């Protein structure tokens, strides 16, 4: 389940939101394919397009547990450079 502190971080995930996920063992980029909201609550499993090419694997769509979402990328404050994601100053 999503803890109360993390809920504010994840409640804005919609289709097309860029994420950092850890389901492949190493943090990599992913794009959500659906909204995390479901009825009155939130989903425990989310459909994403994982960019496995960031860590030498293939890109593929699949379902991941919400616990595997490490961060939500805001395009205004983050830059993706190769295998590193850096916060803009």
The per-residue pLDDT for range 8-50, each reduced to its tens digit, is: 567 788 888 888 888 888 888 899 999 988 888 888 999 999 9
Q: Please, which pLDDT band fits residue 77 given cuts at 50, 70 and 90?
A: low
Task: Return d(Cα 34, Cα 36) in angstroms, integer.
Answer: 7
45-50 and 28-32 beta bridge pairing: antiparallel
pTM of the model: 0.74
How do the domains of the chain map onto residue ranges? 4-87
Residue 49's pLDDT is what? 94
Residue 1's pLDDT is what? 46
Percentage of the chain exceeding pLDDT 70:
72
Residue 38: CB atoms within 10 Å: 10
């Amino acid at each position: 389940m999503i803890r109360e502190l993390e809920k504010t971080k994840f409640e804005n995930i919609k289709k097309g939101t860029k994420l950092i996920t850890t389901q492949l063992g190493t943090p990599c980029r992913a794009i959500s394919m659906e909204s995390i909201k479901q009825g009155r609550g939130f989903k425990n499993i989310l459909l994403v397009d994982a960019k496995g090419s960031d860590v030498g694997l293939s890109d593929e769509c699949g379902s991941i547990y919400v616990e595997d979402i490490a961060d939500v990328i805001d395009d205004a404050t983050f830059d993706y450079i190769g295998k590193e994601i850096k916060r803009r100053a």
